[in-house]
Structure 1
Amino acid sequence: MLRHDVIARTQLYLLTQTLRTHLPATCILPEFLTRSRAAVPFGWHFVFFPPAPLESSLLPDGYAAVPGIDVSGMRRRWTAGSVRVPRGDVAAELMSEVPATNEIQYHNRAERVKERDSARISKVTVESIRQIKSSIYPDVVCVEEMRRLVYLPPAKPEDFASIRTVHYYLVPYKPELEHTFTPTPALSFRFCALTFNAHKIHYDSTYAREVELLPSAVLPGALSIILLLSWLQFDACVAVLLGKEGGRIKEITYDCVNVVVLNRPATMGFSRTKRKGVLRIWIAQNKGLCVRGHIEMAGLDCGGGE
C-alpha cells in the first residue's frame, strides 16, 4: 500500500503545542512556524499518514477495520514496535533538509498476520513494516518502522473484576534522570485529533472500563513513544548528562507492557547500558513498567552502565 502526505510546518507546530505542557521546562522544542525548512524530529513521523476511513466504516471501538481480517468486537492493543534510520547520517540529513511543504510517501512493505488459538485465549497479532521516503530523494528510505498490534477476544462477564487491579512489572532499573508528568484527557484528545484516531479507549473512560476492561481512558501508544523521544532529543539536562549537545537517535525498539492511564502520574526515565551508544528507556506508573525499550544514539559514548 502506497500513500502520500506533505510535511507541513503547522502539523509539527501543533504537535509541539500538544507536548510542551507535559515536558520539562528545560526541554526546548523546535519553532517550526518561523523556519523555512523543517527538520522532522526522530519519531515525529507518527503525525503523518493518518488513516482516514469514513465514519460509517469504523468498527464499534472507533478504529478502522483490518483488511482481510475480522476483528470486529475484539480489543485492540498497541504492543511493540521499532523506528530506525536505515542509512544513518545520509538518511537523517535528507529528512532534515526536506522543505516544509515537500511531499513524502509511505509504503507498507509487508504485513504479517499471526493467529493464536488455545483453550484460554484467541488473539490476532498484526505486524506491519512501513517505509517513508521523500519525493525529492525517492530511492532513499528516510525512516523505517515496525508496529505490532494485538487484537484480544471480547471481554466475558467474569473478567470484569479485573478492572479493579492493574498488574505491573516493577521497574528494575536505576534511573540517571527522570521526569514525572500527568497525562490528561486533553493531551490524549489533541494527539488523537492530530492523528485522526477515533479509538474510544483514548477519550471515553466509560467505554474503556466497561468494554475494554481498562481502569480508565489510556494514552495512545504512539504518543508515549513521542514523549520519550522528545524528552531525550530536546532536554538540556539530558544533553548535559550525556555529555553531548543534542545527540542524534538512530533507532528505538520498545514494548508496551501495560497501558498508561490518564489522570495518573507517570514517570519517564532512562539509564545507560553496557552497550556503547545504547540507552535503556521506560515509562512507569505506580512504580510499574508501562513502556520499556532501548535507544541507539550516534556519536555518544554512553556505555558502561548497568
Structure 2
Amino acid sequence: MDSRQATLLDQTIRPHLPLEYPEYPRKSELGWIPENAAMVPGAHLVYFPSHETELQLSPDGYHADEAPPDPFCQRVWAGGLIKLNTANPLRVSSLSSQTKYVSNVTIKERMGADPLILVQLALEMDNQHGRSVTEYRNLAYMKPVELKRKIVRHNRDPDFSHVLTPTEIMLFRYSALSWNSHRIHYDALYAQNVEHHPGLLVHGPLTCTLLLQLLQTHMPAGMGLQSFDYRAVSPMYCQQKVTLNGRWMPDHSRSKTTDGTLLCELWATNNNGGLAMKGVATIVPLNAV
C-alpha cells in the first residue's frame, strides 16, 4: 500500500474538504504519509489497479471483462457496500492483496424502457493479519440512451454539510490515481457527443470517498467506520456545485445502541438540489472486533 498513493489521494481531495478535516501525519523529509498509518475510508479505491492494456479495454475506456456484450455498453456506477474491519485496517506500506470476481448478474426489466444489466463485483482485501476490507460494487449497463437527469428531493435536514465544486483537475487526478480510463470523466467531447451528458461526470467512487471524509471530519472520538451501504441516484458534473450532507440517526440524536453502534445517513446533492448519492454509515467503537 504505497505511501505516495495515499499522499496523492490526500492532496487530491483535501482542498475540497472542510478546513476541520483531520490532518494526517507526514514524513518530515518527503511530506508523505508515513508507514503503518491507517488508510482513510475509501482509500482502497485508488489501489489494486487493473493490469489490462489499452487494447483490452472497451471503447468507452473501461474494463471489458466486467461488461456484458453489446448492445449493453453504456455504464454507470450504481452503488455498493463497503465493509471495513476496524480491528485490522489497511495500512500504509503494508503488503496487501485483492481478490475480485463477478458475484452476481441480474437482468432488470423496465416498463416502457430497455432492460438494465446489473453486475455486482465482490472485492476482498487482505493483509498479513487477514481480511481488512470487503466491498460489493454494483454496476448498471444499458443500451446507449440519452440520459435524463432526474431531480429527486431529499426530505431530511442535515446535521452537518459542506459545499464544493468539482474541477477538471480534481477529476483528472482521481482518474489517474484510480487508473480509471472511463472517458466520461476526462473526455468532454465523448461525454457530451456519445453518452449525451452535459459535461464531465464526477466519479461514483470519488463521491463516495468525499462523503466518507465528511464523516471523518465529524467522527465522534473513539469511533470508526465499520460499513457504508450506498446507492447512486443521479450523476453529478464537473464545475457544478455539490453539497455533501450528514445526519445522525435517529433524527438529530447521537444516542447509541446498547453495543455502542451509531448510524449516520450521508447524501450528496447536485447543483439543482437533487439527490445524487445516498447511504447509511455504521460507526462502532474502535475497540470493537
TM-score range, shorter chain: 0.7 to 0.9
CA distance in 2, matches of 1:93, 1:31: 20
Within-5 A mapping of 1:125-164: 125-134=118-127, 136-137=128-129, 140-155=130-145, 159=146
What are the equivalent positions in structure 2 for 1:198-209 lying under 5 Å apart?
A: 198-209=181-192
Whether contact under 8 Å (1:109, 1:131) holds in the other structure is: no
Quick check: 1:13–1:31 contact (8 Å CA) kept in 2?
no
SS state at 1:251 partner: strand
Q: Which has the higher helix share?
A: 1
Aligned equivalent of 2:244: 268
What CA distance in whole angstroms lies between the structure 1 residues aligned with 2:117 and 2:267?
A: 26
Superposition map of 1:132-281 within 5 A: 132-134=125-127, 136-137=128-129, 140-155=130-145, 159=146, 166-233=149-216, 235=217, 238-239=218-219, 244-245=220-221, 247-274=223-250, 276=257, 277-281=262-266
Structure 1 position 284, deviation (Å): 0.2
Of 284, 293, 297, the match for 2:279:
293
Alpha-carbon deviations, 1:231-257, whole Å to 9, x = none? 211x2xx24xxxx33631111000000
Tell me the residue number matched to 1:107. 99
1:282 equivalent among 267, 277, 281: 267
Q: Distance in 2 between matches of 1:67 and 1:226?
A: 22
Partner of 1:18: 12
Q: Is the 8 A contact 1:60 1:72 kept in 2?
A: no
CA distance in 1, matches of 2:118, 2:214: 30
Q: Which moved more, 1:106-115 or 1:57-66?
A: 106-115
**Identity across aligned pairs (percent)?**
26
Is 1:27 matched up with 2:21?
yes
The question of whether the paired residues in 2 share the 8 Å contact of 1:71 and 1:151 is answered with no
Measure, in 2, the Cα distance between the counterparts of 1:36 and 1:222. 25
Do 2:72 and 2:141's aligned partners in 1 also have CA atoms closer than 8 Å?
Answer: no
1:31 to partner: Cα distance: 3.2
Q: Structure 1 unaligned segments of length 5 or more: list them.
A: 1-6, 86-90, 301-306
Q: 1:8 aligns with which of 2, 9, 13?
A: 2
Taking structure 1 as reference, are residues 28 and 263 closer, same or farther at Cα in structure 2, changes over 3 Å only? Answer: same
How far did 1:93 drift? 3.2
- Structure 1 pair 195/255, CA: closer, same or farther in 2 (3 Å)? same
Q: Tell me how far 1:29 sits from its aligned partner.
A: 3.5
Deviations 1:7-57 (A, max 9, x none): 111100000000011001111242352523221122211111121311112
Please tell me whether the aligned partners of residues 224 and 284 of structure 2 are also in contact (alpha carbons under 8 angstroms): yes
- Is the contact made by 1:80 and 1:256 (CA closer than 8 Å) also made in structure 2? yes
Deviations 1:96-118 (CA, angstroms, capped at 9, x unpaired):
5x4x3322111225521112456
Q: Distance in 2 between matches of 1:253 and 1:54?
A: 32
Amino acid of the structure 2 residue aligned with 1:289: L
Structure 1 length normalisation: TM-score? 0.82
CA distance in 2, matches of 1:34, 1:102: 13
Structure 2: segments with no counterpart, 5+ residues: 27-31, 251-255
**Aligned residues of 2:204 and 2:232 also touching (Cα < 8 A):** yes
Which amino acid letter does the alignment assign opposite residue 208 of structure 1?
A
Alignment RMSD, CA only? Answer: 2.1
> Structure 1 pair 67/294, CA: closer, same or farther in 2 (3 Å)?
closer
Normalised by the length of structure 2, the TM-score is 0.86
Provide the rounded CA distance (Å) in 1 between the counterparts of 2:201 and 2:194: 13
1:93 correspondence with 2:76:
no
Residues paired across the two proteins, number: 270
Distance 2:45 2:135 in 1: 10
Q: What is the DSSP-based 3-state SS (H/G/I as helix, E as strand, rest coil) of the residue aligned with 2:10? A: helix
Instruction: Supply the AA of the counterpart residue of 1:107.
Output: T
3-state DSSP of counterpart to 1:296: strand
2:79 matched to which residue of 1?
80
